[in-house]
Chain A
């Protein structure tokens, strides 16, 4: 079975992001780029499938050179191949076009990715990619129950505590929830060794896309970003712990 895992490099240590020239995205002066949480859980599910049956894993990302870090991590954890598609996108409609372009060059039975990225928070890249490829997909998957040669049985959430078990014909795409499954940590020596490996980087031509086509599909223009303001009515409690406790209890009593 051939599995492609789509992952994104994100950073949680950010100052205020700035809108880039042209307004197509953001400049983020982040440190320590890590694999997006739900994408890492998608990779773990792929690794488990690889352990239990014959499978090869290709890690795929769309991102700038800094995002190579997460591809190395994926390789050190057990992925067989890793490919970077150049770009720094904050429009899920465009990222999905690029991913779909890359996936058309690959053969796959299963595409796994996370439900949502920490930075973009759109929850759309995975599903729009599946829609581009015209393959069945499921969102909020928390368990892969069964895999046969043509179909996969999964459990997924519908919200409000509802659960659904689905059988999807393959090839299919699953958007995986971050869960409680333990993550494996690659040995440092392996990470260092794997960094010597050159990683292929595909440009638009290699994806069969033209910049002019992408431009015509870029409809989102970012015009502002600011730190989230509080509800505007937040009252900060200070003082020693006893004072804070008193203030909280009086708020509770006043509200009942």
Chain B
């Protein structure tokens, strides 16, 4: 094993984010037959469960720093620790999730090491001259392929829209415990970190009826709420409607809000920003209604209708009531 691939494990209070398993699969894919050392970086507190999960995911090594100071994401400390480890290990490739924290970590590594940073990626594989990476561009309407040299350090964030290949490995995992510097404050001080109070947990519903910018007036929401009720599901919204104050944050689907994986996701008037798609693209059946045939939501939908949402919904509601 010569080179190292470092995966920045994404978790919430020790509960592993599914994105981490995808990152490990991508790591195994690009390692291929060259047997690069697949290492996971795990920062936080109360991490015993997370260490076990990572071991089962088949990484060769886990660098874990378990400290009360790291219980919440602390930018100064996380950046300091990550920077030190990167300098020490000089990984060939760093893989992080394209999440708010992953985005910050990517820039920290890139800034400190001069590694090339390629973000919001849908796939990565090795080509003849280096790595071939697909990423969404131009509002998510296009997928572009970029080539980066294989011999230079690289930092990649993988979009939640990426479909990680199935990979298997049977490493015996080595766990390396790291100490956390105390009293490190840096130039950024965390005053508070809060988690949302979920009045209604939309992530548990089998059917999610989601509405987006197509809604022009809050009075137009009621009919979709009734449809959700008839289908035994919940109503949800994309970010603009939460920003407008028409929905509380616990109804927001996307990177900023809640990630859902329902049996059915009905999207009405949602164009499908990358941030939104990242929160729902794992739904089993995605049905989209939008008047714009170019809307990126159709890129992930299993079933779609180019139509006026307000013309379809009365029919849907009437027929749903009959069932």
Contacts and interface: CB of A to CB of B under 8 A. Distances in A.
A219 interface: yes
A135 B306 CA distance: 47
A140 B107 CA distance: 14
The number of chain B residues touching the other chain, given as a range, is: 35 or more
A179 B145 contact: no
Interface in B137-188: 137-149, 152, 186-188
A231 interface: yes
A122 B207 CA distance: 32
28 contacts: A14-B141, A118-B138, A121-B139, A121-B274, A122-B119, A124-B106, A127-B103, A128-B117, A131-B112, A161-B196, A164-B192, A166-B189, A167-B188, A180-B243, A219-B148, A221-B147, A222-B144, A222-B146, A223-B132, A223-B145, A225-B145, A236-B304, A237-B303, A237-B304, A248-B289, A248-B305, A255-B284, A256-B264
The number of chain A residues touching the other chain, given as a range, is: 35 or more
Contacts of B287: 248, 251-252
A95 B108 CA distance: 16
A252 B213 CA distance: 23
Given A16-B142, A128-B107, A228-B136, A164 B73 contact: yes
Interface in A155-211: 157-169, 172, 177, 179-180
List the 8 closest pairs (A to B, CB-CB), nearest first.
A131-B111, A127-B107, A161-B196, A245-B315, A180-B243, A224-B145, A255-B285, A136-B187
A61 to B, nearest CB: 18
A92 to B, nearest CB: 7
A136 B188 CA distance: 7
Contacts of A180: 243-245
A88 to B, nearest CB: 14
Given A93-B110, A241-B307, A256-B264, A127 B257 contact: no
Given A128-B111, A166-B191, A12 B139 contact: yes
Interface stretch (B35-43, B60-68, B294-302): B294-302
B192 A162 contact: no
Contacts of A122: 117-120
Given A136-B187, A225-B137, A237-B303, 11 more contacts: A118-B138, A121-B135, A127-B104, A167-B189, A222-B146, A227-B143, A231-B300, A234-B301, A241-B307, A241-B311, A248-B316
B259 interface: yes
A131 B86 CA distance: 15
B194 interface: yes
A153 B108 contact: no
B33 interface: no
B263 interface: yes
Given A136-B187, A140-B100, A124 B196 contact: no
B312 A241 contact: yes
Contacts of B136: 121, 228
A229 interface: yes
A246 interface: yes
Contacts of B107: 124, 127-128, 130-131, 137
B319 A237 contact: no
Contacts of B305: 236-238, 244, 247-248
A136 B137 contact: no
A256 B207 contact: yes
Contacts of A225: 137, 142-145
Contacts of A28: 138
Contacts of A106: none
A133 to B, nearest CB: 9
A28 B144 CA distance: 14
Given A162-B193, A169-B187, A252 B148 contact: no
A179 B186 CA distance: 29
A221 B266 CA distance: 38
Nearest to A168: B188
A29 interface: no
B81 interface: no
Nearest to B98: A123
A153 B12 CA distance: 24
Contacts of A219: 116, 148-149, 152
B205 to A, nearest CB: 11
